[in-house]
């Protein structure tokens, strides 16, 4: 059966997060209804072997006849956005699902039936991007989301439209969805973001690396240029995908 939603979870240096994510998917009934989970790990991660061991253990614990959790190994570390975009291209080539989602390894689903809710909204006329309440940003930012695969294809295989490396990717998805008129926030769906900024995790080397002043200096101007120069055209491209549908 063709999967309807594949959620990509890039991760590094935190193999212990795998069990928490998979257990939460099991507890919220995400598997078995057209939703699948794809972790992206790095071959050069010192924790690579621990990841494989935990991934195999967690995959075996999923009560489903089909294999609904897999992992993709990148050759080496890359920032979130190029890693996620590369994984999205891989998914489109190999699996071709109706929708592709993104979540961090620190996003923990809390609402039973959240995956079904995402798919119901994405199947509705005029809805192309959905996100839930992360327990910190709420409606303000989609720190995790799912989008129709047709949008990713229209953007040339990119899940993140702006040419940033890590920061402002959620801002870019929000602005694209708003400008195109295809964004939908689901307040009743809680996908909790267990992030240090929200006071729900301790900082580690990876958090510090991607949230550094150096990263802000690189990503902030790139995001602002994209929003000024490129967003209008890309939003129009996405809007045209939904012509004939009524929101």
CATH architecture designation of domain 5-240: Alpha-Beta Complex (3.90)
pTM of the model: 0.95
Q: Tens of pLDDT along 111-151?
A: 999 999 999 999 999 999 999 999 999 999 999 999 999 99
Q: What number of H helices and E strands is found in the chain?
A: 9, 8
User: Which DSSP state fits 123?
Assistant: T
Q: Is the pLDDT of residue 230 over 90?
A: yes
Instruction: Report the pLDDT value the prediction gives residue 247, as an integer from 0 to 100.
Output: 47
C-beta atoms surrounding 220 within 10 Å: 13
Backbone angles phi, psi at 123, to 5 degrees: -80, -10
3 state SS of 7: strand
Tell me the domain boundaries of the chain.
5-240
**143 and 108 in contact (C-beta within 8 Å)?**
no
Q: Burial-class residue 196 by CB neighbours within 10 Å (0-12, 13-18, 19+).
A: middle
DSSP letters of 54-99? HHHHHHHHS--SS--EEEEEESS---HHHHHHHHHHHHHHHT--SE
194-212 pLDDT per residue, tens: 998 889 988 888 888 878 8
Nearest to 100 by CA among 79, 115, 113: 115
């Amino acid at each position: 059966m063709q999967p309807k939603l594949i959620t990509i979870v890039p991760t590094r240096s935190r193999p212990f997060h795998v069990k928490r994510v998979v257990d939460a998917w099991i507890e919220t009934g995400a598997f078995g209804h057209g939703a699948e989970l794809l972790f992206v790990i790095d071959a050069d991660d010192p924790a690579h072997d621990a990841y494989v061991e935990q991934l195999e253990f967690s995959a075996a614990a999923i009560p489903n006849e089909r294999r609904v959790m897999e992992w993709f190994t990148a050759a080496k570390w890359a920032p979130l956005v190029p890693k996620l975009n590369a994984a999205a291209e891989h998914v489109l080539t190999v699996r071709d699902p109706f929708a592709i989602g993104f979540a961090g390894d620190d996003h923990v689903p809390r609402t039973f039936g959240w995956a079904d809710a995402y798919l119901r909204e994405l199947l509705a006329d005029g809805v192309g991007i959905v996100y839930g309440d992360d327990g910190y940003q709420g409606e303000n930012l989609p720190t995790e989301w799912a989008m129709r695969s047709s949008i990713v294809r229209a953007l040339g295989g990119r899940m993140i439209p702006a040419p940033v490396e890590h920061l402002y990717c959620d801002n870019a998805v929000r602005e694209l969805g708003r400008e195109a008129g295809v964004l939908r926030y689901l307040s009743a769906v809680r996908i909790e973001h267990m992030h240090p900024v929200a006071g729900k995790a301790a900082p580690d080397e990876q958090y510090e690396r991607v949230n550094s002043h150096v990263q802000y200096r690189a990503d902030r101007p790139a995001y602002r240029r994209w929003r000024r120069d490129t967003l209008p055209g890309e939003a129009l491209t996405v809007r045209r995908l939904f012509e004939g549908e009524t929101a």
